[in-house]
Amino acid sequence: MNFRAVLLFLLPLSALAADPPSQWSYVGGDAGGQRWSPLADIRKDNVQKLKPAWTFHHGDFSQGNEQHGATAFQATPLLVDGTLYFCTPYNRVIALDAASGRQKWRFDPKVKLDGVYAPTCRGVAWWRDAQRKPGAACAERIYTGTVDARLIAVDARTGRRCEDFGYKGEVNLLQGLGKVGVAEYYMTSPPQVIRDRVVTGAFVKDGQRITAPSGALRAFNARTGELKWVWDPVPPGMKAVTAEQVKQGATLTPGTPNVWAMMSADVEHGLVFAPTGNAAPDHYGGAERHGLDYFASSIVALDADTGALRWRFQTVHHDIWDYDVAAQPVLFTARIGGKPVPALVAATKLGFVFVLNRLTGEPLLPVEERKVPQSTLPGEKTSSTQPFPTRPAPLHPLKLTRDDMWGLTFWDKGKCQAAFDALDYQGVFTPPSLKGSLQYPGLGGGINWGSVSLDPVRNRLLVNLQAAPFRIQAVPRKDYHGTTGATDLVGMHPQEGTPYVTVRAPFLSPLKTPCIAPPWGRLVAIDLDSGDKLWDRPLGNLHGMAPFGDRWEVGTPNSGGSLQTAGGVAFIAAAMDQYLRAFDMDSGNELWRHELPFAAHATPMTYRAGGRQYLVIGAGGHGALGTKTGDAIVAFTLQ
């Protein structure tokens, strides 16, 4: 087979057309979440000519109030037949004209925001009903999950409810969960639509109780909203609750791992790939957990039609660090021994990148089990080993030393060193302890929900990750006298039903900088054929946060994802500064940057409209990360 034939075999179908169709019908670009576009109007030699074309303000943002926390705008729009669709932090769904940014319609589900830590919506899902005539009511649908636990279907043309879906256009996702606390269970990521199934997971509030709401996945008929299957993630030997039992009033198994991040799908093989969270609670796994962590912190492959388990690959055994898999699994065709193999990338908070056969779950690049530190906490028994990929090599150091402690001055560096000395720390996977332990990478990652982008022609992976150590301490319940309450990142988690509460916080100096040297955020390119790192550079500076901040290329903690294009250019914002940047994928050199109205913690996307290629990103900050909240969708094109 000659080179051209090989290239044509490996290229996605959309890249073969002379004028690639301009659709972005999934938040990740395609069902496999590659975040890659075959468009190449914007290239290395002209990217500096990018200028804003239009800006849309949706109006839904807040710095937080007594009702709810500060908003986070993390949505990536879909593009279908000239219309952009996205959701706001308050779950309003908005349709815009792709060329002008003019609003076509707006749907308001009137959500209840009581107790929501950070109102957010990362995107919506689109589906075309092949059984209805084009143009008929609800022949094309937008599905959105809400922060008050509803799944809603609306007509993609009009924004009106699809009344034949569920009850007047919506399904109550609390059915089958038993007693649920305020804002304890809700959706932040879009559902995964495959064939005629709408598959949902949900965020379950961290660290509350052993009997937390079930993390089960559910699939609904895309036309009627009927519950078709349930995957109740209980270990082998424990009887799972079925969809029929849920319909008859049964409660799904409490405390099981959830799926709060984005799923992906292999339509050809009828598989859904789910990145799982932790079994309840996050930082204690004694006998009270009842072995429910069997499917925790894993990639799980399910049959899309039936929900039957096909395989699982666990990235962390008996997870007590909150190292749940936050990143969407990304599908591609690996080249192993010169042959194409259906593959999947699983990127984790540890900065680990696992490359798996997506039909079997077997590693395609080497993974080895290594001995790790063991728990000293009474009642806890940790796994003696953990899986470590060797290609690609881990992207974070596996062990810090006292000399790695850092400060802006000798004074705060000394404070960090003293704090380091006072904590338990034996390297990666040091368990929480009564004394308090250092966790690196911290529970935010590493690699988080923004996932990775993948060029399927060159098999090049682009990873944005952060380096933010945490401290975690287990405190006997009878001895705890501090304040109650916690967010996703800090504070006290009650862990009801266990002997301990957990207190966790970022490991910072008295001057509120991480106690390790920068860069605190990085952008890394990897060759997936060899597993080799191609380049590694800081991501973000201190623009707007320190004098002469543009000169401080320290890399910042970041949240969001990247986009790669056939023009050889990658785009990403994600950092705490307010820049959207373009990078040369061959060298890692920055080619262009533009300051946005707010920091952008969403993933950019691209499309062609009216003969021009547009680059679009949601820029609305993230109050919990310390960036100013806002409400902008900004579109760029070549001028």
- Are 257 and 215 contacting, i.e. CB atoms less than 8 angstroms apart? yes
Cα–Cα distance list, 128 to 138, 139, 267, 445 (Å): 8, 6, 14, 36
The catalytically annotated residue of 282, 322, 577, 631 is 322
Q: β-pairing, 569-572 with 500-506?
A: unpaired
CB count within 10 Å of CB 8 equals: 12
Sign, Cα dihedral of 389, 192, 629, 484: negative
SS3 content of the chain, % helix, strand, coil (to 5): 10, 35, 60
Q: Which helix (H) or strand (E) holds 292?
A: none
Cα–Cα distance list, 262 to 15, 31, 45, 58, 617 (Å): 24, 11, 34, 23, 18
d(CA 237, CA 638): 59
Q: 3-class SS at 8? A: helix
Q: Which helix (H) or strand (E) holds 326?
A: none
d(CA 112, CA 90): 9
d(CA 605, CA 80): 13
Convert 59-96 to b/e letters by CB count within 10 Å (16 or more is b). Answer: ebbbeeeeebbbbbbbbbbbbbeebbbbbbbbbbbbbb
What does DSSP assign to residue 371?
Answer: E
d(CA 609, CA 273): 32
d(CA 191, CA 173): 12
- Radius of gyration of the chain from its Cα atoms, rounded to whole angstroms: 23
322 has catalytic annotation: yes
d(CA 632, CA 401): 42
d(CA 93, CA 425): 46
Q: Which of 194, 407, 384, 168 is nearest to 304 (CA)?
A: 194
d(CA 349, CA 395): 10
To the nearest 10°, report the CA torsion of 358, 359, 361, 366: -70
d(CA 369, CA 384): 9
| Residue 478 φ/ψ, nearest 5 degrees | -70, -20
d(CA 618, CA 57): 10
Q: Which residue has the tokens 């042959």?
A: 339
Give the max Cα distance, the chain.
71
To the nearest 10°, report the CA torsion of 564, 536, 46, 607: 10
Up-side HSE of residue 557: CA atoms within 13 Å toward CB? 20
d(CA 221, CA 305): 10
- Residues noted as catalytic: 322
